[in-house]
Amino acid sequence: MTSQDIISKLPYSKPFLFVDEIISISENGVEGTYYFDKDLDFYKGHFISNPVTPGIILTEVMAQIGLVCLGIYILNKEFNIATSIALTSIEIDFLKPVYPNENVTVISEKIYFRFGKLKCKVSMKNQLGIEVCSGTIAGIIV
């Protein structure tokens, strides 16, 4: 399964697809990127003079790359099924703001996959390599 195959199986589309590229993926983790274009709708009203990416959007990027893409890969590899993972829990620390026109990289490491539940340690770094948020995200097979 290629990176494009995985992205095509995501249950999202623009404007709610937050995965541009999967750099690497294995049964133990995934690394991918997303670019925050300045014209995204949520910037229009989030801190009018100085737009910042909302934390819930950062969380969604981390979940789509770090949990759902990895889940699709694992389910296809281990069980040869094409299904998805739904979010069940998050615990994220926000360390730095992410501004319009920034590219971020999400790195996810599998903590466990058992009984249909996937839990990952996920971090996001900005284009300077500085960690902007990190935590754990979990989901179940749907």
Distances (CA, A) of 119 to 11, 29, 53, 115, 138: 19, 11, 25, 11, 4
- Write down the CATH number for the domain with range 3-141: 3.10.129.10
pLDDT digits (tens, 9 = 90+) for 9-39: 998 999 999 999 999 999 999 999 999 999 9
Please tell me the predicted confidence (pLDDT) of residue 34: 98
Please tell me the predicted confidence (pLDDT) of residue 82: 65
Please tell me the predicted confidence (pLDDT) of residue 30: 98
Please tell me the predicted confidence (pLDDT) of residue 85: 83
- The residue ranges of every structural domain in the chain are 3-141
Distance CA 139, CA 116 (A): 8
57 assigned to active site: no
pLDDT digits (tens, 9 = 90+) for 80-100: 676 778 899 999 999 999 999
Choose the catalytic residue: 9, 46, 117, 121: 46
Read off the amino acid at residue 56: I
State pTM to two decimals. 0.93
